[in-house]
Each structure stands twice: as C-alpha cells, then as structure tokens.
C-alpha cells in the first residue's frame, strides 16, 4: 500500500485554509487511511515540518512566511520510501474589502458533526480563511480556537507607531512577541477567560476592560461598520452591549456592572466551554475580517495597549522614577500577564524596584508553574536584547521616558 496522489489546489493565498486528500493504491481499506502522515516544506532549503494530522484528509493553511513554493508531502507512516509530493504556489492574501451591508458568514466546517482540527469561514461569499485551530485545555475539559502567529497575517511593528507614541510603542513589544509572536489578530477561545482577541490578548472576563473595552471603543469609532460586522450587537448609550438571540430574535443585556466577570457576554460569544461552537467561530471570523480590512482596529489595539502601559507605570511611578525602560517593560509584562498574586502584585513590584538588583527581583515574580517560568525566561531575554544599549529612564513628572 502506498500514496499514489495528493489531490487539492495548487495555487492558494496565504492565510486561506484548503483541503487536501491523499489517494491510496488499490486495495486500501478504511483502516489504512489513519496511517497517512503529512509533512510540509514551506521554504526551499529548509527542513521538513511534520503536520499534526494523521489520516488521508488534511486541512492546510500556509502563513505569510510561506510565500513562494510550498512542498506538501503525504506518506504511509514516517519511513515510507516512496512519498508523494505536491507543489503549491502561495501568493499574498488580498486585503479584504470593507462591507457596505450587514456581513454574512459561512462556516466551512460544522463543529457539531466532526472533530475538525482547523476551522475556516467565508465573509460575503469571499475566499475561505483560517479562523482558528482546535486546542484542548485544562486536561481536555475545555476546547476552543487558537489563531496564533503561525497563522496570522498582521504582525506588530513598534517602529510604525513610534512617531505617535514614542518609546511607549516598544514598551510592550517584548511581551507581545513572547505571548503571541506579535500577531495582531490572535484568537484564544479555550482558556478560563472564554474569549481573548488581539495584540495583547484583550480578554473578555473583566467588565469595562480588556475585550469589553476594545469592542466598545471599536463601536464608538466606527458605528456604521460595527453594525455591518455585528448586526446582532448594539451599544446602548455608548456603554453597555445588548445582544440578539440568533434563534429567537430577542434582545438581551450582555454587559452590566452587576456582572463583573462578563458571564453574559462570554456565554453569548461561546455558549459552551467543553466544545467548539458555531457562535465562537462566527464571532471570531467577523473580528479577523474587520481587523484585516481596516487599519482602525489594529491602531485601536495599540492605543489601548499604550493607555494600559501608562496606567501600569503610574501605579508604581514613585518606585520607577529614574529607572531604566527595561524595568518598565518587565513591570508591564508582570501586570499584563497577571503574575504576582491578586492584591499582592503591586507590593511585590514596588519592593523589587527598590532592591539592589531590581530586574533579578522582578524576574522572580511568578508562580511555580512551568509555563510561567518559561514565559519569564523568554520575556526577560527579549527585554534585555531590546534595551541592551538604551539610556531611557522613566520620569515621574512628565510620565514619559527621557534620555538619562
């Protein structure tokens, strides 16, 4: 038994999700299909990368890093002496056009009918694009989507925002790089926040902040376009969201100060945490398309990230005054990552800033989990590299960074 052919498109745009099938030689049985393994070489001269799929059917979405010719390889097991190769031409993804009427989203995969590893959608009849890959979390009790830097099309470049925000544009760059590879349209619907989106992972689990703040600001910036992308949402009095039940048509309150963890909004976006839902795919698809179609949303994310960074620095301004920007970047990462414990983080940060070796002490603010330790190690290396020769220090009076 062997793979005799790979069937699928040979000219695709980066960021789109395509289906490929390995055809097997005569006599193959249903049980043989699970022995098919897939590999890809996305740049000539690079090593092959195994794809996390076993079986004759593959959903593959090349990233913007894979422009040019990609080699897709299907074989029986990992030591097949005669694998089949399909060359694919990958071209840049066209910028989606802005809608002029309410958006219609079509899902390419129905999450209720199979255990798909990736999900794509189409907006207003356009080409399919990847919305997210299936991720299990918390001992597989939670399932959701992830769109990471591997599949994103937009990446944060602090130099593009330095004219407007100065050193603030780079302050959170190391955190963004380590947390999500710099992806601007990053999606996470699998962890305890239920839904997070964007540059610094604006999370939906806090009233008036995070994703709630981002979505409200977007509706206020461009209410017409917001109504096209989200016709089932309304911003009441410029503050609270109402949502329309898609089956009954009834409108209900989604955000209110009496729901500090935004349970209503989170449930509206993702009705079940133990499975991937049509609602979360649809919601994420609308956000991704809007983000890629209009610079307003990426710009808004940066604006809110800068505002957040400034507030974090004000919280410890007396202890940070006159100290280097690298320390400020680590302070941002601790606060944004939620390290240090509820109610104790600020006290620990202040104590670290006044220690003999403040960066060493700041780097110790984390829990005992392997994930946090790994994150701190990576972000410390990124911050050290970024600010190795910087003479910028925080100035409490001007609430800015100045040359020392």
The reported pLDDT for the residue numbered 152 is 85
Residues 222 and 328 in one domain: no
> Can you give the pLDDT at residue 31?
74
Check whether residue 75 and residue 113 sit in a common domain: no
Q: What pLDDT band is residue 236 in, cutting at 50, 70 and 90? A: very high
Q: Burial of 385 by CB count in 10 Å (0-12 exposed, 13-18 middle, 19+ buried)? A: exposed
pLDDT range class, residue 149, cuts 50, 70, 90: confident
Is the domain of 263 the same as that of 120?
A: yes
Determine the pLDDT at residue 226.
97
The reply to whether 20 and 80 lie within a common domain is yes
Q: State the total domains in the chain.
A: 3
Cα distance between residue 112 and residue 277, in whole Å? 8
- Is the pLDDT at 205 greater than 70? The verdict is yes
Q: Which of 264, 225, 292 is nearest to 15 (CA)?
A: 292
User: Which H or E run contains 228?
Assistant: helix 223-229
Q: Would 303 be classed as within a structural domain?
A: no
Domain extent at residue 255: 105-153+184-296
Q: How confident is the model at residue 147 (pLDDT cuts 50, 70, 90)?
A: very high
- Look at residue 176 in the predicted model and tell me its pLDDT: 93
Residue 240 forms part of a structural domain? yes
Question: Is a pLDDT exceeding 70 seen at residue 356?
Answer: yes
For residues 385-394, average pLDDT: 97
- Residue 19 domain flag: yes
Q: Is residue 167 one of the residues assigned to a domain?
A: no
Worst-scoring range by mean pLDDT, 39-43, 91-95, 235-239, 313-317? 91-95
Whether residue 22 is found in the same domain as residue 120: no
Residues 257 and 341 in one domain: no
Residues 203 and 86 in one domain: no
pTM, 2 dp: 0.83
Summarised one tens digit per residue, pLDDT across range 268-300 is: 999 999 999 999 999 999 999 999 999 999 999
- The string of DSSP letters for 291-321 reads HHH-THHHHHHHHHHHHHHHHHHHHTHHHHT
> Is the residue at 113 inside a domain?
yes
Find the mean pLDDT for residues 51-70.
Answer: 79
**pLDDT average, residue stretch 24-31:** 84
Q: Which residue has the higher pLDDT, 300 or 16?
A: 300
Which CATH number characterizes residue 30's domain? 2.60.40.2950
Looking at residue 121, its pLDDT comes to: 94
Q: Same domain for 279 and 375?
A: no
pLDDT at 45: 66
Given 91, 115, 132, which residue is the final one in a domain? 91
Task: Clarify whether residues 223 and 348 are in a common domain.
Answer: no
With a cut of 90, say whether residue 264 has pLDDT above it: yes
């Amino acid at each position: 038994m062997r793979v005799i052919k790979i069937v699928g498109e040979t000219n695709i745009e980066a960021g789109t999700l395509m289906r490929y099938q390995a055809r097997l030689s005569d006599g193959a049985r249903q049980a043989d299909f699970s022995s098919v393994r897939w590999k890809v070489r996305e740049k000539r001269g690079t090593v092959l990368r195994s794809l996390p799929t076993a079986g004759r059917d593959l959903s593959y979405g090349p990233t913007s890093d894979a422009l040019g010719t990609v080699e897709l390889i299907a074989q029986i097991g990992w030591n097949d002496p005669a694998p089949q190769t399909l060359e694919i031409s990958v071209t840049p993804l066209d910028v989606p056009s802005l809608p002029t009427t309410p958006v219609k989203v079509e899902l390419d995969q129905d999450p209720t009918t199979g255990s798909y590893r990736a999900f794509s959608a189409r907006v207003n009849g356009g080409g399919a694009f990847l919305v997210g890959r299936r991720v299990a979390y918390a001992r597989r009790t939670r399932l959701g989507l992830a769109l990471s830097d591997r599949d994103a099309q937009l990446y944060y470049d602090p130099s593009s925002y330095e004219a407007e925000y100065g050193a603030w544009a780079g302050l959170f760059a190391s955190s963004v790089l380590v947390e999500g590879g710099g992806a601007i349209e990053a999606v996470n619907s699998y962890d305890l926040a239920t839904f997070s989106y964007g540059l610094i992972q604006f999370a939906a689990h806090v009233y008036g902040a995070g994703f709630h703040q981002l979505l409200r600001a977007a509706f206020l910036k461009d209410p017409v376009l917001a109504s096209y992308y989200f016709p089932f949402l309304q911003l009441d009095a410029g503050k609270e969201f109402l949502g329309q039940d898609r089956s009954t048509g009834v409108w209900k309150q989604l955000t209110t100060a009496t729901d500090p963890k935004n349970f209503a909004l989170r449930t509206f976006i993702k009705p079940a945490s133990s499975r991937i839902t049509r609602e979360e795919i649809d919601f994420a698809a609308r956000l991704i398309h809007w983000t890629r179609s209009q610079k307003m949303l990426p710009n808004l994310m940066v604006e809110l990230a800068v505002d957040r960074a400034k507030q974090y620095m004000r919280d410890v301004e007396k202890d940070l005054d006159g100290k280097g920007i690298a320390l400020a970047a680590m302070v941002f990462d601790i606060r944004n990552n939620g390290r240090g414990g509820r109610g104790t983080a600020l006290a620990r940060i202040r104590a670290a800033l006044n220690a003999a070796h403040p960066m060493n002490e700041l780097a110790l603010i984390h829990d005992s989990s392997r994930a946090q330790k790994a994150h701190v190690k990576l972000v410390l290396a990124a911050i050290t590299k970024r600010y190795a020769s910087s003479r910028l220090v925080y100035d409490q009076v001007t609430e800015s960074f100045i040359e020392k």
